[in-house]
Amino acid sequence: MPAYLDSCERCGQYDVAPSAGIADGDGIVCGYRCPACRVVWTCSWMTVPGRITPPDTTTDRHVAALMHEQAAINRAHKHPARDTPAA
Ligand SMILES: [Zn+2]
């Protein structure tokens, strides 16, 4: 089964494999570095059974930082603050 491959929006490089991925509820946040132009990005996927899961850590600290930041943003969106008074 394929991994969570993505394409680079900057240079068009396709089938870029994630450097790492971390579980995020029913999904997974993957971090990528383009092998061609070196740009870093993340992508949030729904977990697909049988698909190759990337390692949850990477020595690429830039990718790791971006990936964890995106996972935190996703969690914040799924669990909005409930103590905000109604307008
Ligand atoms: Zn690229």
Structural domain that includes position 66: 20-78
Residues flanking ion ligand 1, Cβ below 5 Å:
8, 10-11, 13, 34, 36-37
Residue 8 lies in a domain: no
**CA–CA separation, 30 and 18 (whole Å):** 6
Which pLDDT value is given to residue 83? 62
- CA–centroid distance, residue 74 to ligand 1 (Å): 24
Which pLDDT value is given to residue 2? 76
- The model carries a pTM of 0.86
Residue 7 lies in a domain: no
Residue 86 lies in a domain: no
**Span 62-81, pLDDT tens digits:** 999 999 999 999 988 877 66
Residue 70 lies in a domain: yes
**Span 1-55, pLDDT tens digits:** 678 999 999 999 999 999 999 999 889 999 999 999 999 999 999 999 999 999 9
Tally of structural domains, the chain? 1
Residue 48 lies in a domain: yes
Residue 63 lies in a domain: yes
- CA–centroid distance, residue 64 to ligand 1 (Å): 18
